[in-house]
Amino acid sequence: MDLGLKGKTAIVTGASKGIGFASALVLATRSGDRLEAAADELRRHFATEVVTVSADLSRLSSAERVAEAAISAANAGLLAVTKVLADEVAEEDIVVLAVSPGPVRTDRWHARMSEIAQSTGRAVADIEAGFSEMVPIKRFGEPEEIAQWIAFLASERASNLTDTSVTPDGGATRSLA
């Protein structure tokens, strides 16, 4: 399916591995030493222009480089930055969205499960089974699933969405709005 992403620009944070990396590959863009390697891989694979910016958005100086309009809200968290930046660029037909996934099988997830297993003496599979019981669909997300969400949100088919957060979490978050 053509999502109409040609000519679009995406900022992918946390793109050195896990969900961010999967998203960068799906969108055709990545952090640190791995950022340039991933960018080169994407350039070769997709024959597209890739611009890299390695930034820690928890640091004000990095937030300024990535989104000057969001400086005042950089310490208020992802949603505040999303809202401020969306307001700043809306008239230019630029959409700003946040993706806040629930449990996803990333390297970080596996490391955390191993830490819990080691500290409790329980098997990783048992710990994961307990966590999965808290998710209505009884399983965790995969980085590629989140990447597909992000690709859709960056597409023409989601062009009327801005200034909001999407939470792909298998139904773990309970809310009415």
Q: The whole model's pTM is what?
A: 0.56
Cα separation, 111 vs 105, whole angstroms = 10
The domains found in the chain, sorted by start residue, are 1-101+143-163 (3.40.50.720), 103-140 (no CATH)
How is residue 142 written in tokens?
Answer: 């995969």
Cα separation, 48 vs 45, whole angstroms = 8
Q: What is the DSSP letter of 103?
A: S
Q: What is the DSSP letter of 141?
A: B
Residuewise pLDDT in 10s, the chain (177 residues): 566 666 666 667 666 667 777 777 666 533 345 566 766 776 776 666 665 665 555 554 554 555 443 343 333 466 777 777 788 888 888 888 888 888 899 888 898 889 888 888 989 999 888 888 888 899 999 999 998 998 899 888 888 988 888 888 888 877 665
List, in sequence order, every beta strand (DSSP E) within the chain: 97-99, 164-166
CA torsion through residues 25, 29, 35, 39, sign? positive
